[in-house]
């Protein structure tokens, strides 16, 4: 494994342990040339996936890009890292098990929206606003209306504000 600090072709594994509920192996490595320490993850890849973009362009599937887009939607939300990693791994597993080597970007977007809808309403709306290219406030209102009809997860968990008991005495 190449060292990300000095580019040396050599690195030594200092520690290995299961990660992501056994779906990956986490390896702590050290570079003998610069003493830099870094972590790598090893995952099973069932098949080589390609994403078909709306433009017709075909690009290799990038798990990290999927993770970044989900993490942006979940920024500053009270969701545990483990749940996020399971969500990402679940989507990747579903894509690999689909039997298709080429997957439309719309399919991936719909899978992410479905998964976020069950995880966090705010993240769902954030992702939907980019994925569906919202142009007006009414676009947000329609998605929030969909969540309300479905009995959303986050919105239902937020308590109603309590009126100030002393406010009527003034």
DSSP readout, 103-125? EEHHHHHHHHHHHHHHH-HHHHH
| Same domain assignment for residues 35 and 88 | no
In a domain, 108, yes or no: yes
Question: What domain range is 67 assigned to?
Answer: 46-155
Q: What is the pLDDT of residue 159?
A: 36
Residue 123: Cβ-neighbour burial (10 angstroms; 0-12, 13-18, 19+) = buried
Are residues 16 and 51 both part of a single domain? no
pLDDT at 157: 41
Residue 5 lies in a domain: no
Provide block-wise average pLDDT over 10 residues at a time, the chain (170 residues): 89 88 84 93 75 90 90 88 87 86 88 87 84 72 75 45 42
In a domain, 89, yes or no: yes
Q: Would you state the pLDDT for residue 152?
A: 54
Taking alpha carbons only, the member of 44, 40, 123 closest to residue 77 is: 123
160 in a structural domain: no
The number of distinct structural domains making up the chain is: 2
On whether residue 4 sits in a domain, the answer given is: no
């Amino acid at each position: 494994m190449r060292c990300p600090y000095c580019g040396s072709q050599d690195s030594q594994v200092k520690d290995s342990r299961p990660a992501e509920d056994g779906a990956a192996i986490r390896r702590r490595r050290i570079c003998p040339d610069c003493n830099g320490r870094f972590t790598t993850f090893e995952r099973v890849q069932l098949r080589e996936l390609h994403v078909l973009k709306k433009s017709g362009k075909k690009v290799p599937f990038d798990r990290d890009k999927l993770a970044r887009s989900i993490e942006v939607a979940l920024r500053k939300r009270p969701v545990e890292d483990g749940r996020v990693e399971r969500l990402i791994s679940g989507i990747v597993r579903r894509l690999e098990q689909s039997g298709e080597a080429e997957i439309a970007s719309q399919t991936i977007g719909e899978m992410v929206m479905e998964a976020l809808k069950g995880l966090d309403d705010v993240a769902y709306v954030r992702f939907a606003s980019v994925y569906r290219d919202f142009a007006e406030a009414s676009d947000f209102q329609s998605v929030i209306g969909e969540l309300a009809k479905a009995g959303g997860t986050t919105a239902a968990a937020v308590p109603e504000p309590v009126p100030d008991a002393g406010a009527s005495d003034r």
